[in-house]
Chains A and B, each alone.
Chain A
Amino acid sequence: MVELAVFFVFAAVAVIFALVVILHRNPVVSALSLVASFFALAVMYVLLEAPFLAALQVIVYAGAIMVLFLFVIMLLNLQHQREETTRPIQQALGYVFSAAFGIGLIFYLIKYAWIRAEQTTPFNSDARAIGIRLFEAYVFPFEMVSILLLAAIVGALLLSQRTDLRGRPTTGVDHPSGQNPEGAAASPRTGQPSFDAGQPSPAAASRRADPHHEGAK
């Protein structure tokens, strides 16, 4: 009974925050809501007798990947960007189709994948069991994943490098070391920022008039 209550509370949390992710216009709020949603999913994993995966979910998703998202959003200062509704019909169609997709998904789930014989015996899925299985049957995929991660590191470094007009890598503008990630954040981007170039929204204008923002200049 208690478990069922926990399930419904955290299912509601997961769904509500997932909705906030896609509906809120501010990416920082979206990212934080996604963290909350992932946390609720970790609770689901605990209910599914997989506490190891729950910990992994929080460490990897909430603790690492989402921090990376937040870091990038803050670094690029994306919260001032507004999405103008340029294609209302397509957007409405998007809502309609995804709703249809969801209804269809649940319909077919109930029709074909409905499980009647519930599992009652406990499921041993501790770290030891997973580790033994991982390094016996799945050694090769495991090694492949490590190579993939290495490739991802190299790719991310290459992609996020600043290049000049000829495509050569440049160092940071006022930080000669160029390795300094905070230097990349601190150096003002030369050239005019485009989200100010068009018609600035009233919020953006008031933001610029805000004395707190002038303080650092």
Chain B
Amino acid sequence: MAAISVTNVTKSYQRDKTSVPVLNDVSISVQQGEFLALMGPSGSGKTTLLNLIAGIDRPTSGSILVQGIDIATLGETALAKWRAQKVGFIFQFYNLIPVLSAFENVELPLMLTSLSKKERKQQVETALSVVGLADRMTHSPNQLSGGQQQRVAIARAIATDPDIIVADEPTGDLDKLSADEIMTLLERLNSEFGKTIVMVTHDPRAAERAKVVRHLDKGDLLAEEVRS
């Protein structure tokens, strides 16, 4: 069974009285442990597709099965709970909470779990060690470089040990060196920890690190490109 199965999904937005189509009858399957890169020009619908897979937006029609659950049918509360347990998010602009330290930012999603303080601490320390920031736990986001902030964001994404990680332009705001570090980290999460990763990117260098690259254009999914 595919980890993610998107079937005949359409998505359109209402602008005043006009319906603007963003995704046209898209179907895609992502296997367990796959590293998928979604590429395409601006407005092609790649971020919309990522948002639908991550359960932060709803399709106009079609079904999205993630590990057998049709997330399009879940209510808001159930969907929020599902996201907390199953999906790790990485954003282009890191989206860390500026008043919290690196440790506290990573701990944030764990606050929704039933873990004890000690268990949370252990989990946060492990996640920060994985991203190589064990020595920066007490630093606040503004004391960290862009690459380091993104690594904290990755630690936050993996803190709950989700099966799926979605990343929206994770290298979009980084210099080349930092971008390489981030991509190496994502590769490691995929290969070493078996995480299924769906990444949206404009950056061909980043896309090269994915196992599968799919292109979108004007809401249509183009042919598959599989790498060894």
The answer to whether A and B assemble together is: no
